[in-house]
Structure formats: structure tokens, C-alpha cells
Structure 1
Amino acid sequence: MGWKLIRGWTVAVYIFMFLPVAVVLLLSFNASQFGNFPMTGVSLRWFVELANNDAILRAFRTSFVLGILTALISTTLGVLASLALVRYWIPGRNLVSTLLIAPILVPEVVLAVALLLFLNALSINKSFALLLMGHVIFTLPFVILVVQARLVGIRRDYEEAALSLGASPMETFFRVTLPLLAPAVFAGMLFAFTISFDDITGTLFWKPGGVETVPTQIFAMLRNSISPEINALGTVMILLTVGLPLVGLAIARRLATQRGR
């Protein structure tokens, strides 16, 4: 009886959490310009208007560029940091590891305000570079955690065997270590892109004037009225942020299976 109550409560919590998402998905296909029930019909009208909205298209381009750059920089730094922390002994390794993971522990709004005040004290104005740096700081710990977990499970025998056969440390990394790390690297890159693409708290503090990402564009649109285009835009965001990790997980598992063979 107890387990039935727990399962029922769990189902109720999930319904409570995901029902608003389902409503947004459903209303994005509503033919009426008023987001209410019952729906007057099914239509792709709002997706067409979304595709013709220049402001939203600019926001999508900005978010994609920002997400890709964040993913590339965070993944590169995360792989190098993980190698240094796992494969080599460095003074204060535990302290360095804690500092790299700290942005996860600090509330994002506190981190955003702290970085903004610090740069204002240095007389550095808001810019796209500042926005990119903030996203890298916030996403880097996720990449490090994923890559470290994979790197710990890779035996050093493979690398030592390559070195003993005459390969240089650089060749060993690119021909042995990196292929074995590929699933974790790919997963970390997708995590960084998704987190950057969805971020709004830090972006509101760091973005320069005239630059909008998709989340901040949605926030700006909500100030005026709840347009049906927002539901369509929310549907696109949901598909991207849910679909990309699922695709990445499938690819990472496939890569891991091929490496295991």
C-alpha cells in the first residue's frame, strides 16, 4: 500500500510539473489568436508568423552563435582541466577542482551580479564577449564533471602502451585518449550548448543593449501581451532543448558501444 501511494504521488508530481509544458505545446497549434480552451481549430499559422518575425530570427541566430562558441570553449577548457586534474599531480589540486566546480554551487543570479560588478569596477562595458565569458564560466563545471567521470574510468595502460611504442604525448592524446573520451566530450559539448541556449538569468545581466537571445526575446514579448507566437516559440525551444540531449545521448551510447567492441 505504501509503495502504491509513493508511485501515485510521483505520478502526480510529474503531471504537475509537465502539464504546463503540454499546454504550451497544445496551444501553439491553436488556430485562434486567444490562448484559451476549447481550441477553435488546429493550425500552423503561428509557426509561419514565427518564421517571418525578424526579431525572433535574430534572437535565434544570436543564441546559436553564442551556444556554439560557449560549447567549443567550455569543452576545450573542460577537457584540458580534466586531464590536468586526473592524469597529473598539481599543487592544490583539490582546491583547484573545487574552484572550477564552484559556479554550480553558487546561485546563478549571485554569480551574474558578482561578475557584472567586478567588470564594472574594471570599467569594462557590457559586450558580446562578456556575455560569452559568463556563459563559459557557468557551463564549464558541467563539462568538467562529465569528462572527469569518463577519464577516471579509462585505464592508463592504453596511454602508457602508446608512449612505450614511440608515440609522443600529443599523438597519444589525439590517437588514444581523445577517441576514448569522445562520448563524454560530445555529451559535455551538448550540455554546454543546451545550458547556454536556455539561459536567461545571467544573460539579462550580461548582454549588451540591442542584443537578444531567444529566452530574453520571450521575456521581452511577455511584457506586452501573451501572443500565440510565444507558444510556438516555446514549442520550438522545448523540442530543441529536449531533442538535442536525447540525440546526443544516443550518439554517445553508440560511440561507447563501438569503442567497447
Structure 2
Amino acid sequence: MNETVVVPLNNATTVKGVCAALGISHEGFITDKFYNNVELHDKKYKMEGSNGKTLVKTRFGPPKSYERALAKEKEGIAKLGEKWQGLRDLNRVTFEFEDPLILTLVHRALITKFEVYGLKNKFSDDIYATYSQPPDIHMNLDLGEGWLVEVQLMFSSILDIKKELHTYYDVIRASEPRVIFAPLFEKAPSLVDFKDKEIAELKQLMDSNKEVEAMNIKAGIFASPEAEIAHLREENRKLKERMDAIAKLSVGEN
């Protein structure tokens, strides 16, 4: 999609140029002569913070997780029964814009170049009097050989709001209290990260104890070598027990 839509559009300078680059006809599409010849790299069309040549950006979402895919499949079957046609959003991309004219051009290019399996205009007041989801153009396109991808055409400011609200969306769709207890607002270190970090620190402590033991034996600076060595070895034994306990936690043992 980047090569077939985004790059040609960002390199074009007029609506006619965009249509020519994307292989779409502007006849009967943009009827106002002003728009046919408007300079697209004018600052009012470009993306905020861009160099003046970026009219659209793509954001490719991560593939839907296995757990979420199963949950959504189950929800779809429960809601629609035999009418459920399966997941269409395993692969996702969002086109981001600052201006409705550029959004319109990309929409025209996509529906011309790809087979459309679903389309919702969430900007329509007639259909969406109130918004339960961010307003956008939502499509399912076939990239070829039945490979469906979810496509959203969205304005930058709305995308920013969507990002902020997604945490609360996770709370709303949580299936049980246990899910809520998971870290939502910040990425917390995982148990494995914690385990690896603490074990590394404990190993360092054990090595340090061994070095102290060796130094004390060599220097003969303590009154009771046997007692000192026994103490250090007991400390190492406790450290090893702690390391074993942490290792068991990582595989779900008690």
C-alpha cells in the first residue's frame, strides 16, 4: 500500500497529478476546477511537523494476538451465529491525514485498486448520531488471493484521541476482574525480566562473597577463619535458595 498509494500521492503536487500517479480518473470526481489545480504541498494540506511533502502517513498495527483473535471469534459467533463470516482485521493499517481532500483522494485510490469487502463511513451523522468509536472511514480490502486487511482512514487529531482512549477501551472489554489488575497505563517489567535481573544481581553477590572469602583466606586477616568462611557460605546458600524460588515463579510453580 505504501508503494501503490502513499509514495505516489506524497510525490504528486496537484489533484490531477495524484490521479495520474494512482491510475484513477478525476473526471466527475473532483468537479471544482480549483481543486484540480490546487498546490497540494501548501502548508494547509501537509502533515503537521512534516517537511511539506508528507500528505499522508501509514501506521501498520501489530497482528492481532492469538488470544484476542479467539475471543473476538467467539463474540462474533455468539452475536451473529451462521451469519458470522470470520475475522477480517488480523492485519491492520491506518492512513493518517490532516485534510479531508487528501483523505478523499486516498479513499478513491483504494476502492479503485483493491476489492472492497466492507465499508463503513463513520463520519455520517445519519448512521452514527453518537460515536461509540472514533469517526473514520473503515474498510476491509482484499490485497489479493483472499488476504483481507482492515483499513482505517483517520485524521491526525482523532487518531491522537483514539490512542488516549484505548486504555479505557481495554477496561470496558475486560472479561473478568483479573484482567483489570494487569498493568494498563504503563508497560511494567515482566516476571521474566524481574527474574533475570534479580538472579543476575544475586549471582554478582555470590561471586563477591567468594572473592571476599578467597581474599580473607589469603590475607589471614580474621581471627576465626572457619567462622568467617562458614558465614559466607551460609549467605551463599540463602542466595541460591532465593534464586531457585524466583526461577520457579517464572514457570508458575509455588
User: Which TM-score tier does this pair reach, normalised by the shorter chain?
Assistant: under 0.3
Bigger fraction of residues in helix: 1
TM-score normalized by the length of structure 2? 0.26
> Which has the larger Rg?
2
TM-score normalized by the length of structure 1? 0.25
Bigger fraction of residues in strand: 2
